[in-house]
Structure 1
Amino acid sequence: MSDTDGKKPLGLGGGNRPGQVKQSFSHGRTHAVVVETKRKRVVVPAQAKPGAPAGGAGNAHLGDPSKRPAGISDAEMQRRLDALRQAKAREQEEAARRAAEEKERELERQRRREEIEAKEREDRQREAALRARAEEEERQKREAEAEAAAKAAARKAEILGTQRRQPAEPAAAAPADAAAVPGDRGAGQSRPRPGTAPGATDAKPGLAPRKTDRERENRETDRGAARRGDEGRRAGKLTLSAATGEEGGRQRSLAAMKRKQEKARQKAMGFGQKAEKQVRDVQLPETIVISELANRMAERAADVVKSLMKMGMMVTMNQTIDADTAELVIEEFGHKAVRVTDADVEQAIDTVEDRAEDLVGRPPVVTIMGHVDHGKTSLLDRIRKANVVAGEAGGITQHIGAYQVRAPNGQLISFLDTPGHAAFTSMRARGAQVTDIVVLVVAADDAVMPQTVEAISHAKAAGVPMIVAINKIDKPAANPQKVRTDLLQHEVVVEAMSGEVQDIEVSAQTGQGIDELLEAIAIQAEVLELTANPGRAARGAVIEAKLDVGRGPVATVLVQNGTLKKGDIFVVGEKWGKVRALVNDRGETVTEAGPSVPVEVLGLNGTPEAGDVLDVVSSEAQAREIADYREQAAKDKRAAAGAATTLEQLMAKAKADQDVAELPVLVKADVQGSAEAIIQALEKVGNDEVRVRVLHSGVGAITDSDVGLAEASGAPIIGFNVRANATARGAAQQKGVELRYYSIIYDLLDDIKKAASGLLKAEVRENFIGYAKILEVFRITGIGNVAGCLVTEGVARRSAGVRLLRDNVVIHEGTLKTLKRFKDEVKEVQSGQECGMAFERYEDVRANDVIEIFEREEVQRTLD
């Protein structure tokens, strides 16, 4: 079968063509086999006819199955053609977009080239203008010098011509350039020939120069020409010496001329000018170190020392001079001295105002306040998920603790835990001064207590918002509504009572309400919009200070503004130092601390007072100067307070002290805040008859000097969380000084009160035991007036004291001389019985008077 048989071809869809293969075998046998041949698959979209729809461009092959690949349906073929058209459209769009971007980049490059060319043209024009200005100034200067030189040459020529001519013949004035030779070619100037006499050529024809004169002039001319030679072209500006022929000096080289011209060009352009000396206003205290004086004048310290040596003072740069001498030095260096007082050193502390763009948000500082044992530390312990209470003696917070906690929403919160005991009132006050938010902890089973009221007062005085945390809500006796009602008496209206103060019911034991408390703190912080500038010099408040045996003085500082870094020089109160190390609340050493971050600062030269302000200053000398001034001011204040008494006041005080018994004590504590709180508590112990006198207080271990002072004054030494060293213990045992150690302030105060109570006089109490009414008065010889009485109440005793009342007014007080029942002397008479009474050394008794009978009893007093 062949292709031309007219039969239907083999294959599907008309894609393949039939063929015939003839097979040959042996013996002449043949066999025809029909085979199928496949054509190469080519997909070419047909062009759309004009006027035909775009979607029908590929429909030309759809009706001809012979031109379609095998197994491809109409829908599939249409989909492929559509995909091909979309791909081509995307390629065209991408090409157009790239072309547009390339065109835009080319325009940008063209614009930049034009800007650069315009800037270069502007620079060239400016440089050309400066060069033209310099050349114009140089030309004017040369013209002025040439004019001056020409005048000088004419004057000299006139003088020489006058000397060589006869006196009868007047000298003719010659032009200035008649005897001049070409000089500076560039400038077009000329100068006279050396050795020649200007004006000689203008002589009359009949009077020629003598031969000797001509020979001398010729020789000088030859020598001048040989000397100038090829240096003529190197000649610079026409100077007076060149114009007058005075060539005796050394000639200037070409390099020197170039340097001079370059210097003139730089001067014309405003470069290379020597800076004028700046006159400074130098602040001058009463005394100043020479090196510091040189620093303030911006002069070399060696120059200042040299100046003082010229005045006859052999000093070094580390010595101190007075203000008068320093003022002379300042005037010699051309500066102005500004006298300042010692108080002006405080102005050196940076008090610049922070710009709004430099302020960033900072974590809030939250202080937990409340009555003792209301669960403040336990609540903070629950928040921190650490055991803080276990570290406090007796579960009572003795120091201010500063911690940072991250709330569930990720916000950092700085907590200050203040003691709730009454002795730590001042510590709580300091906590309220540095805080942003106060969390008032009130026990639901105890309600508002005295220290709670004090905490409310501190918060109101500091002007900070308050959040009430009603703790111990899990106890059966909890009554949170009573707490809210009691707070109303102190002008604290919570939200549950339609007020503005947030109140949260929490439990430190079960964790109830902790998340709500942190959320309330975060909301309050957002309302306050707390910001600080971390880029400025640091400023902070000392929360606590102590003397560590291994680390020296250590201060717990809450940074309020700026960033405190390792190596910063600071002044805090009367102390100063350089930050040697920073330790955060987790005991980790850090390199810097930003706003609202509590850290322990090491590197002080002494233990500061809790509550002092820390300020970073620029130099060590400045910090030392401020600290010295503050220390001296404090000494002067104490001396003035002691001296501000008259002789009469001293005598009155001595007389009053004779009636007051004193209990002297020495106090040593571990931290400054505890020592201060103990002193304030001891000052309140006593009354008008007895008082406690603190002879000395300090921070750190008990030393030999403390034992010596205690022996001289007969006072015991109280150690609060500190101990005496080995030598001090031996000295105390040898000298009989009592050492008492405490770790809980309750026990300390109780023992001091007992000791002070022993100095009180016994109290005499009166117990009324009976009343008697006088019925009749008898006169008995040898005894006097005897009152016949009826005991109306109680009992009458002979040993008791009596008072005689007349119309309820005490007429006499004394003792009984006799007490008789009928005729017998008795010790006592019961109520309802009659008796006879006679007073000791008193006889003015009348009928109807009342006798009050009492007994006296001595009771040992104690201090409350």
Structure 2
Amino acid sequence: MSENDGKKTLGLKGGARSGQVKQSFSHGRTKSVVVETKRKRVVVPKPAAANTGGGAKGGSPGRRPAGISDAEMERRMKALAVARSREAEDAAQREADEKTREEERQRRRDDIEAKEREEREREDARRAKIEAEEAAKREAEEAAKRERDEREARVATTASNGAAKADEKDARPVEDRRAPVARTDAEGESHRGVGKPAGGTRRPERDDRQRDTRNAKARDDGRRAGKLTLNQALTGGEGGRQRSLAAMKRKQERARQKAMGAGDLREKVVRDVQLPETIVVSELANRMAERVADVVKALMQNGMMVTQNQTIDADTAELIIEDFGHHVVRVSDADVEQVIYTVEDKDEDLVTRPPVVTVMGHVDHGKTSLLDAIRHAKVVSGEAGGITQHIGAYQVRTDRGGLITFLDTPGHAAFTSMRARGAQVTDIVVLVVAADDAVMPQTVEAINHAKAAGVPMIVAINKIDKHEANPQKVRTDLLQYSVVVEEMSGDVQDVEVSAKTGLGLDDLLESIAVQSEVLELKANPNRAAMGAVIEAQLDVGRGPVATVLVQNGTLRQGDIFVVGEQWGKVRALINDQGDRVTEAGPSVPVEVLGLNGTPEAGDVLNVVDTEAQAREIAEYRHQLAKDKRAAAGAATTLDQLLAKAKADQDVKELPVLVKADVQGSAEAIAQALEKVGNDEVRVRLLHSGVGAITESDITLAEASGAPVIGFNVRANAPARAAANQKGVEIRYYSVIYDLVDDVKAAASGLLSAEVREHFIGYAEIKQVFRVSGVGKVAGCLVTEGVARRSAGVRLLRDNVVIHEGTLKTLKRFKDEVPEVHSGQECGMAFENYEDVRDGDVIEIFEREEIERKLA
């Protein structure tokens, strides 16, 4: 059985193997751990013996699976041996790799520990070196202090010995005539220099200077060194003491805190903060010179979640300003206009100025013709329809050499506001009354305007050359309105004139001159100009143009001014003759070019110093006017809003869009159109502007279904094309009478027609029948008038209206007839109504619609 002797039994080979593994942690800590490695048990069947014989002699055929041949068994055993050898090689390789990795980890740990030891040793050496240097420095300072004390003592002793020491000092050479000094050598002995100093001696003054120089150089080198590098920190540097990393960090932290305000505490600067009614958070921080983030934080602490771009009210801002320790100075938005009213005229600066005379009166009483005769020019021919449409300003030189400024205002009732502006800027009012027409409604309005303005009045009784003229009637009629002329023992001057023949014109000018002397009209021409806008318009070639009457100061070319909601710089000045001038003094009317927009007639012009001031004032006024318009258009309560909406539903509107040549005409048209209408119809002015009709006007008119009305203006080419394409009507006018009449006629078309009823007959029901297919039919007797098929009917029962409607059928016997006369019988049936009874009365009537017109 030698074959079986070499076989090995199955089992674990060698059992579990144990070993140690070293684990590494942070900060150089390590730990040894015991580990065990167990091998995997592999069960392999024993190979069968070779078949030398057959049957029982051939080994152990029962130890291998059935059906496996010896060759297959041998092949399997070889494969098993190869697998075992490969597994053994892999295990050996893994052990070698693990050993290599462990050696590498151990080497790294040793290196880290070595570096840490080196760093600790280097740090200890640096500290020792620093301590040694500090000790040496302290010793040197103490030695220097002792040396200074000894030197002071020697100087005191030398001074007391006076003359003897002086003779000895003079006997020595010049280079040796110095005070003997003491020094401390390396052995710590003190020597007194006698005669020429020894080679190793140094004088204290020179030592101090050298030491100061070395210290300054060291400080400069330290500043130039920049940041501390790791290499310098580890090696200690080459130039002696170096800052440690901790010191550098502390220095950087102090710099950061100083930059953030936590460094050196500076003295608080208390400021006077100007506070308007509202202010933006960022602007508030700027005026306090505080950080915006701090202001926002303070607001949040007070319960207001705002950003730097939001606006807060003055009360809230005042609390924040007081929290920051500043003083509040309340200002108003209107303070921007204070720069206008800073000039106060002195009596010695005032000079006499020409009077401003306004010509007022009823329409067609000859105001413009009178002024025309005075100016020796034809102004009337330039006005459409022979009436004045604009306020004109003219300057006239009398025969005596004096200047008079005339304002010619329209006399039509629509120009009431324009006459009011004329009275506001005027010094004297000339009331023109026609001798053949006496006092008229617009004459009364002119009197009221003059009285409201508080200006003196001169009555000019015009058309005295006419045969039917009656100047005495004019004087008498004026008494009703408290105007008493001089001829009737009053204080109002009256002059009889004729614009046609020129009669009495000199007397009128003389009266004006006398009145101006009484008024003592004076102004200061050497100050910033102030004036009133008489008229404003948008010129196609020149832009916005304003006719300004200078009231005080001198307006010069290049002046920066603000007028109403507009501002500008004087680009050109044109006088009433059309000539270009460089300046305009008091009481001089000029056209001003250079505005950024068209002002309102009646606005005040003021010259300011800078464009910033003009722009700020104009923006403030624009915002103020915008707020007023918004407040005026808003309903105060919900009930008012609902009532207004209900009223608007019951009223029909005629929308119109108006463009005029000048601002005064546009206002006059707007006021005239406001008076057109009644409780059922009114005119709604969509837009009123100055200048040519543009394409945007056509677009607005199309959206609202409104016509476009042009007064002394025309539509440009794009506007005409858009109007033709969109079907918008454009109407042109040059006389306000025609414009208002056409708008009245158009608004009258919106009025519902008046319905009138005419009673034409009565019928009495005698008997009621029921007819198949028709319903109830009333057999009636026409008692009065006539019954018509097309007429309306009412059913009366005991003189009470039961039903109102129309007839469905009207028959005479069996035939349908159009009408039945009185005394005849007929059959009637009502449309959609059958509750008829015997004895009811039928009222027959006809309706007539009558077209209505606005008054």
Give the TM-score normalised by structure 1.
0.58
C-alpha distance 787-347 of structure 1, shift in aligned 2 (>3 A): same
* Displacement of 1:725: 0.5
Alignment deviations for residues 537-567 of structure 1 (CA, whole Å, 9 cap, x no partner) = 1111000000011111000000111111111
- Counterpart secondary structure, 2:195: helix
Whole-angstrom CA distance in 2 between matches of 1:853 and 1:179: 163
Query: What does 1:40-79 align with in structure 2 at a 5 Å threshold?
Result: none
Match of 1:174 among 131, 148, 159: 159
Supply the AA of the counterpart residue of 1:550.
G
What is the deviation of 1:394? 0.8
Deviation by residue 1:429-451 (Cα, 9 ceiling, x = unmatched): 10011100000111111111111
Determine whether 1:536 maps to 2:527. Answer: yes
Tell whether the 8 Å contact from 2:423 to 2:450 is kept in structure 1 after alignment.
yes
Confirm whether residue 509 of structure 1 aligns to residue 497 of structure 2.
no
- 1:214 is aligned to 195
Contact 2:709 2:730 in 1 (8 A): yes
In structure 1, how many angstroms separate the alpha carbons of the residues matched to 2:423 and 2:164? 100
Partner residue, 1:343? 334
Q: CA deviation at 1:488?
A: 1.0
Which residue of structure 1 lines up, in the alignment, with residue 485 of structure 2?
Answer: 494
Q: Counterpart of 2:601 in 1: which secondary structure? A: coil
Match of 1:620 in 2: 611
> Aligned partners of 1:349, 1:530: CA distance in 2, in Å?
22
CA contact (8 A) 2:537 2:598 kept: yes
Question: In structure 2, what is the Cα distance between the partners aligned to 1:368 and 1:709?
Answer: 39
> Residue 179 of structure 2 corresponds to which residue in structure 1?
196
In the alignment, the residues of structure 2 paired with residue 522 and residue 502 of structure 1 have an alpha-carbon distance, to the nearest angstrom, of 12
Query: In 1, Cα distance between the equivalents of 2:509 and 2:641?
Result: 58
Determine the structure 2 residue equivalent to 1:578.
569
1:198/1:630 CA distance change after superposition, 3 Å: same
| Matching of residue 384 in structure 1 with residue 384 in structure 2 | no
Alignment partners' CA distance in 2, 1:444 and 1:688: 40
1:153-164 maps to which residues of 2 (within 5 A)? 159-160=149-150
Name the CA shift for 1:787/1:482 in 2 (closer, same or farther; >3 Å).
Answer: farther
2:854 to 833, 841, 863: 863
Structure 2 stretches lacking a partner, 5+ long: 1-144, 167-175, 183-189, 214-269, 296-307, 769-777, 811-819, 825-835
SS of the residue corresponding to residue 214 of structure 1 reads: coil
Query: What SS does structure 2 have at the residue aligned with 1:374?
Result: coil
Compared CA separation, residues 479 and 616, structure 1 to 2 (3 A): same
1:135-534 residue pairs with structure 2 within 5 A?
Answer: 159-160=149-150, 172=157, 174=159, 195-196=178-179, 212-216=193-197, 340-534=331-525
Measured after TM superposition, the shift of residue 858 of structure 1 is: 3.6
Task: Render the CA deviation track for 1:48-72: whole Å, top value 9, x for unaligned.
Answer: xxxxxxxxxxxxxxxxxxxxxxxxx
Distance 1:813 1:179 in 2: 158
AA partner of residue 556 (structure 1):
T
Q: Deviations over 1:459-511 (max 9, x none)?
A: 01001111111111111111111111111111111112211111111111000
CA distance change for structure 1 residues 412 and 211 in 2, over 3 Å: closer, same or farther?
A: closer
Residues 570 and 595 in structure 2, CA contact (< 8 A), matched pair in contact too:
yes
Q: 2:699 pairs with 677, 691, 708, which one?
A: 708
Per-residue deviation, 1:415: 0.3
Mind listing any 5+ residue stretches in structure 1 that lack a counterpart? 1-154, 166-170, 182-192, 200-208, 225-240, 250-278, 298-303, 312-319, 771-777, 790-795, 804-809, 819-823, 829-839, 846-851
- Deviation string 1:201-242 (CA, Å, 9 cap, x unpaired) is xxxxxxxx9884332399999x99xxxxxxxxxxxxxxxx99
1: CA distance, partners of 2:275 / 2:181: 68
Question: For the Cα contact (< 8 Å) 1:178–1:198, is it kept in 2?
Answer: no
The equivalent of 1:685 in structure 2 is 676
Residue 174 of structure 1 and its aligned partner are, at CA, apart by 3.4
In structure 2, distance between residues paired with 1:179 and 1:681: 123
Distance 1:482 1:798 in 2: 65
1:12 corresponds to? none
Cα pair 1:538 1:564 within 8 Å, conserved: yes
Q: Distance in 2 between matches of 1:661 and 1:323?
A: 43
Measured at CA, do residues 659 and 779 of structure 1 come closer, stay the same or move farther in structure 2, by a change above 3 Å?
closer
Distance 1:162 1:551, change over 3 A: closer
1:662-811 matches, within 5 Å, as: 662-764=653-755
Amino acid at match of 2:179: T
The alpha carbon displacement at 1:629 in A equals: 1.1
Q: Is the 8 A contact 1:398 1:674 kept in 2?
A: yes
Letter in 2 for 1:598: P
TM-superposed CA distance for 1:407, in Å, is 1.5
Secondary structure in structure 2 of the residue aligned to 1:586: coil
Equivalent residue, structure 2, for 1:238: none
Distance 1:696-1:827 versus aligned 2 partners, 3 A rule? farther
Rate the CA distance shift 1:491–1:220 in 2: closer, same or farther, 3 A: farther
Give, in whole Å, the separation in 1 of the partners of 2:165 and 2:667. 101
How many pairs does the alignment contain? 570
Structure 1 SS opposite 2:159: coil
AA at the equivalent of 1:665: V
State the AA in 1 paired with 2:159. Answer: A
- Classify 1:709/1:780 alpha carbon distance in 2 versus 1 (closer, same or farther; 3 Å): closer
Q: Which of 637, 643, 654 in structure 2 is aligned with 1:652?
A: 643
Equivalence for 2:550? 559
Using the alignment, how far apart are the partners of 2:163 and 2:823 within structure 1? 161
* 1: CA distance, partners of 2:767 / 2:730: 69
Please name the residue that 1:587 is paired with.
Answer: 578
The code of the aligned residue for 1:436 comes to: D
Q: Is the 8 A contact 1:365 1:437 kept in 2?
A: yes
Q: Distance in 1 between matches of 2:758 and 2:440?
A: 36
Alpha-carbon distance in structure 2 between the residues aligned to 1:769 and 1:689: 31
Mapped contact 2:782–2:823 kept (Cα < 8 A)? no
Match of 1:602 among 589, 593, 599: 593
Does the aligned pair in 1 maintain the 2:180–2:194 contact within 8 Å? no
Structure 1 residues 813 and 416: CA distance shift in structure 2, 3 A? farther
Provide the C-alpha distance between the structure 1 equivalents of 2:371 and 2:516, rounded to a whole number of angstroms.
18
Deviations 1:768-825 (A, max 9, x none): 999xxxxxxx998899999999xxxxxx88899999xxxxxx999999x99xxxxx95
Distance in 2 (CA, whole Å) between partners of 1:673 and 1:646 is 35
Name the SS for the 1:511 alignment partner.
coil
Secondary structure of the equivalent of 2:197?
A: helix
Partner of residue 44, structure 1? none
Is residue 160–residue 197 contact of structure 1 (8 Å, CA) maintained in 2?
no
Structure 1 residue 283, shift from structure 2 partner? 6.0
- Inter-partner Cα distance in structure 2 for 1:387 and 1:561: 30
Is the 1:764–1:856 contact (alpha carbons within 8 Å) kept by the matching residues of 2? yes
Give 1:457's aligned amino acid: N
- SS of equivalent residue, structure 2 residue 728: coil
Instruction: Return the letter of the residue paired with 1:483.
Output: V
TM-score (norm. length: structure 2): 0.58
Report how far residue 401 of structure 1 moved: 0.1
Structure of larger gyration radius: 2
What is the deviation of 1:855?
9.1
Structure 2 distance, partners of 1:354, 1:668, is 42
